[in-house]
Each structure stands twice: as structure tokens, then as C-alpha cells.
Amino acid sequence: MFKDLHPSLRNAMYVVLFSFTGLVAATFYTIRLTYKHFEPVMDKNYYEIGLNYEKAIENQKELIKQGYKLSTNWDKTTILPLGDLELTVTLNQNESIVKADSVYVILERNATTKNTTRYDLKPSDFTFTGKIPLKESGTWNMRLIANISGKSFEREGKIIVK
């Protein structure tokens, strides 16, 4: 193919040709991986959530000002074991336990929706309980969301599962 060129220039042309072929192959491989492991947007209702974002922040600030706080039986635990664990959530207002309309938990990983799961907790007296299956080890983002008279009160944190 490059027989008429000087040997050093011929070698350079082969390197360029090999590099270009490798670049094209890597591009097609990347596109294939993208389609194979595609994940949609985090939330299908992102537009509505964005419109109500300021109102949600104001509701959160107002509920914090009124002394609301979510606490769990996992608060004093630093590392949780794998398996089904019982989670108990209580809603406090100024150090006294109050009743919420509903409470649910969202477990998610950073930068992916693949393992995001929601667990609705069952009410019992003034607490909410439920079994949370922790099947994978690692760091998880945990969001507790309580509905209080039509307003959402949220607490975020990280849990470590081993």
C-alpha cells in the first residue's frame, strides 16, 4: 500500500492508519455500550418537580422552623449488615412524637437509577415500620419522606451496607 514511500514515512503511515482504525473501533464500541446499558432520566416528572422546587424548599424550611424532625432506629448504627432489616421511623415536633400521614423510604446509588427503590412504611401508633431488603453492599443514599398535612418533609443521609 505504501511501497513507494521512504521506510520511516511508511512506518509513520501504518501507525496513523492503525490509530485511525483503533479510534473508529473504540467509537463504535462506546456507542454499543451506551445503547446496551442506557438509563432514562432520573425522574419522568422532572419538569413538574422543577416548577414546584421553590415551593418544596419553602415547605421544608417552614416545617423545620416548626420543630419537625425525622428519627430512625438506624440513626446510631454506622454500618448495616446485608439482609432484610426492620426500619422504624418516628416524626418528632419539638421533642414530642407526632403523627404523619405517610412515610416512605427511597434508597438510591449515586449517578444511576438502576438500583433506585421506594419502600412505603406501614403506620403503627405514632411510628412507621417496614422491612427494608439490603441486598447489595456499599454506600447508599437514603431519603426519608414524610407527608404532613399535604406537605413533604424530607431527610437525606447515607448508609453503609456490608
Q: What is the pLDDT of residues 55-94, one digit of tens each?
A: 889 999 999 999 999 999 999 988 999 999 999 999 999 9
Q: How far apart are CA 63 and CA 48, in angstroms?
A: 22
Q: Which three cell numbers stand for residue 25?
A: 473501533
Over residues 112-135, mean pLDDT: 90
pLDDT of 42 above 70? no
Q: What's the confidence (pLDDT) of residue 16?
A: 95
Q: What's the confidence (pLDDT) of residue 43?
A: 66
pTM to 2 decimal places = 0.72
Domain ranges of the chain: 67-161
Strands (E), 7-161: 68-72, 79-80, 83-93, 96-98, 102-108, 117-120, 122-124, 127-134, 138-148, 151-161
Q: How far apart are CA 80 and CA 104, in angstroms?
A: 19
Q: What's the confidence (pLDDT) of residue 96?
A: 92
Q: How far apart are CA 95 and CA 70, in angstroms?
A: 11
Q: How far apart are CA 38 and CA 114, in angstroms?
A: 10
Give me the CATH topology for the region 67-161: Immunoglobulin-like (2.60.40)
